[in-house]
Amino acid sequence: MSETPTCREPLRLMAVHAHPDDESSKGAATMARYSAEGVQVLVITCTGGERGDILNPAMDRPEIKADLAAVRTEEMAKAREILGVEQQWLGFVDSGLPEGDPLPPLPDGCFALQPLEVAGEPLVRAVREFRPHVVLTYDENGGYPHPDHIMCHKVSVEAFEAAGDPDRYPGCGEPWQPLKLYYHMTFHQDRFVAEHQAMIRAGLESPYDEMLKRWEDRPVKWEITTRVPCADYFDVRDQALIAHATQIDPTGPFFACPTELKRGAWPTEDYHLARSLVDTELPEDDLFAGVQEKVCLP
């Protein structure tokens, strides 16, 4: 953050995610940095990840599969402690990632099938209770088209637009209007190219070679408006990811590029400013640009 003037109240950041582990793979270093600088940070986890796959072979055991929801709850508790953030469950049931051709129907009662006003209500309540100045979420494609990520986008936009309106969601607390809404732009081509080239220069084999060859040459819908310097917190991000042991293989390609190389190749986490009720100049290097001038004394 830029130099912080004296604030009438703490700055507050809310990150809305679909599953436990999403908070550690998208925006984790950003949250760790802001938390260390005194910002109050709350992660909202929409579902329990009950229908997720076990992606770490070392954790692919019958007793883990039999109690996956409880295991992922424990993993989330470790990750939030590492990141230094608060965390709240919305309590919806994981929709799973449908596979096949044609795709099977989503399971009854899952998060992605909830009416928007049902899925939006607990998030509106959380916004009014926590009173964030800035909200982070996914774009309308969910970052990738998982049904829960797409619904996460929908409820985040709904809450951003409705939480400040006293006529909407009555009984969910005193109205509160967040000032900025951002989309995560974590996994984009420029970042992977930079890390790939850094590994090649260091004489290392890059795991990104085949992925970059297959990358579709298509226009990027959402430009990066905001790059938050947070390389000093990449180690914290890695530790939080590893805490989600069912989802992250510490020997896998996610960690193939050494952290020191990542710091030099791409030292920011990146976002698209989707809504703003404050004046700000683009590009930004601070999620609270324009917010401090509104809520803080000079």
CATH number for the domain harbouring residue 22:
3.40.50.10320
The whole-number pLDDT of residue 297 equals: 58
* Mean pLDDT in residue range 237-253: 94
The whole-number pLDDT of residue 129 equals: 98
**pLDDT tens for each residue of 6-36:** 666 789 999 999 999 999 999 999 999 999 9
Q: List beta partners, residue 7.
A: 296
Closest among 264, 253, 262 to 235, alpha carbons compared: 262
Residue 6 within any structural domain of the chain: no
Closest among 141, 165, 152, 161 to 94, alpha carbons compared: 152
Residue 215 within any structural domain of the chain: no
Residue 213 within any structural domain of the chain: no
Three-state secondary structure call for residue 183: strand
Give the integer Cα–Cα distance in Å for 289 and 157: 20
Give the least confident one: 39-43, 155-159, 187-191, 243-247: 187-191
Higher-pLDDT residue of 261, 209 = 261
The whole-number pLDDT of residue 210 equals: 83
Give the integer Cα–Cα distance in Å for 44 and 40: 13
Q: How confident is the model at residue 230 (pLDDT cuts 50, 70, 90)?
A: very high
**Whether residue 3 has pLDDT greater than 60:** no
Higher-pLDDT residue of 113, 101 = 113
The whole-number pLDDT of residue 6 equals: 60
The whole-number pLDDT of residue 2 equals: 47
Q: What angle do CA 285, 133, 289 make, to 5 degrees?
A: 25
Which residues span the domain enclosing 83? Answer: 12-187+223-260+268-295
* Mean pLDDT in residue range 142-166: 95
* Mean pLDDT in residue range 184-207: 94
The whole-number pLDDT of residue 131 equals: 98
**pLDDT tens for each residue of 278-297:** 999 999 999 999 998 888 75
Residue 7 within any structural domain of the chain: no
The whole-number pLDDT of residue 215 equals: 81
* Mean pLDDT in residue range 163-168: 98
Structural domain count of the chain: 1
Residue 243 within any structural domain of the chain: yes
| Percent above pLDDT 90 for the chain | 82
Residue 35 within any structural domain of the chain: yes
Residue 203 within any structural domain of the chain: no
**Whether residue 4 has pLDDT greater than 60:** no
**Whether residue 5 has pLDDT greater than 80:** no
Higher-pLDDT residue of 297, 113 = 113
* Mean pLDDT in residue range 222-250: 97
What does the DSSP 8-state code read for residue 129? Answer: H
Residue 198 within any structural domain of the chain: no
The whole-number pLDDT of residue 219 equals: 64
